[in-house]
Structure 1
Amino acid sequence: MKARTAIFIDCENVPAKFWPEIEARAAALGAVNLCRLYGDFTEDRLTRWLNIARENCLQPVLQLGGKNAADIAITIAGMDLLHQGKTEAVVLVSSDQDLSPLAHRLRAAGIKVLGLGNANTPVALRKACSEFQELGIAAQDATATKAVAQPAAPKQQAPIPPAPKPVAVKAA
């Protein structure tokens, strides 16, 4: 039986273009039974996330409170899930170290925490998760694999220079 999995996305810190990758990685972890998107959706830059929510029946959670409002709301939701005892895995999608204490607490309770974020995600969040994966790496790996599949032309070694001739030293 696959692990019951919840996804919490900090839309203010992760671009919507990563949704297909987020969805695939979460599905590989377990059966997704909850997916919530957090952010101030009155901002135009988050419109694409709202479209994704409509197309995929995801639950957007509007946060108007300012800088850390989404982080606090995600933390509360994570603790609610912990106390319900119905989730074995959580996917935290953020590049914000403010979610590190939540990841620590969920792991301490035996919940697997998969962190997904950008390349600039602080070490604190990376280490707080059971596992952390950078978004966009899969596409880069596929390109790199194609490049590696083509054998490179053999390199010619440079000739070894002759050893220097010994110099006679006269005694004074």
Structure 2
Amino acid sequence: MDEEITHKLAVLIDADNAQPSIVEGLLAEVAKFGTANVKRIYGDWTSPRLSSWKDVLLQHSIQPIQQFGYTRGKNATDSAMIIDAMDLLYSDKFDGFCLVSSDSDFTKLAARLRESGLVVYGFGEQKTPEPFVAACDKFVYTEVLRDEEDDQIETKQKSTNELKQDTKLVNLLRSAVEASSDETNWAHLGPVGSYIAKQSPEFDPRNYGFHKLGELVNATKLFEMEERPVGEGQSKAIYIKDKRK
């Protein structure tokens, strides 16, 4: 049996725009995409406001990179992180990058990394500017990462009416099903998910309070769903169809 190929990833965290509370969920999410061969976090570690990061860094073997704020009003941390990212890019040792920040200053960096053929995963709060979100192959809002660690702040599951009234969501789901469907108008859930990921980097069922795409689709009540056996085994595949068809 062939050995599974694992993508080598560089995880770069902007300490000025991320919270220690996301680290557990962040690294668990990164593990879904590949192996974090490099884990670095950037900030002015002489500043008391970053003291809450100390125990987290030791526990998860994240390397702190010191960057003094030489000039007020200028973000030296961003510059250091961007320079390091380019050095890592030119080392030709990585398949992708995980950029952890809610700062739009990393938009050009994400675009440049993708131009070089590497995959870019962005992580930031929902306030993250749209250009940075769109520049990534996949963008995960860190609010859902905290949810997984603390059930007390779990994202409220949206109702069927709320989902139906979300025009952007409904159009995205219907377009994905239409693009992935066969001549009978049924679409396999897998290709539907792939289409959505290409069209909307920030899409995540967890943003709506659901753990899986199938659960979200079912909750909208806009699609027919059925499970079909795969081959001669016990596994099943989910197929969906727009009820308007």
How does the TM-score come out when normalised to structure 1?
0.79
Structure number with the higher helix fraction is 2
Q: Any conservation in 2 of the 1:41–1:50 contact (CA below 8 Å)?
A: no
* Structure 1 residue 112 corresponds to structure 2 residue 119: yes
% same residue: 35
Alignment counterpart, residue 8 of structure 2, candidates 4, 7, 15: 4
Q: Determine the structure 1 residue equivalent to 2:66.
A: 62
Alignment counterpart, residue 51 of structure 1, candidates 55, 68, 80: 55
Which fold has the larger relative contact order, with Cα–Cα distance below 8 Å and residues 6 or more apart in sequence? 1
Aligned length: 147
Which blocks of at least 5 consecutive residues in structure 1 are unaligned? 149-172
Deviations 1:25-52 (A, max 9, x none): 1111101100001011122221121221
SS at match of 1:136: helix
Give the distance between the partners of 2:51 and 2:38, measured in 1 at CA.
21
Alignment counterpart, residue 97 of structure 2, candidates 68, 90, 94: 90
Give the distance between the partners of 2:56 and 2:210, measured in 1 at CA.
30
Q: Determine the structure 2 residue equivalent to 1:72.
A: 79
The structure with the larger Rg is 1
Give the distance between the partners of 1:45 and 1:68, measured in 2 at CA.
15
Q: Any conservation in 2 of the 1:50–1:60 contact (CA below 8 Å)?
A: no
Deviations 1:111-164 (A, max 9, x none): 100000011100111011111110122523586459x9xxxxxxxxxxxxxxxx
Q: Any conservation in 2 of the 1:92–1:115 contact (CA below 8 Å)?
A: yes
Which blocks of at least 5 consecutive residues in structure 2 are unaligned? 148-153, 158-208, 216-245
SS at match of 2:80: helix
Which aligned segments of 4 or more residues in structure 1 are displaced greater than 4 angstroms?
none
Give RMSD over aligned pairs. 1.9
Q: Any conservation in 2 of the 1:6–1:89 contact (CA below 8 Å)?
A: yes
Deviations 1:86-126 (A, max 9, x none): 10010000000001111000000011000000111001110
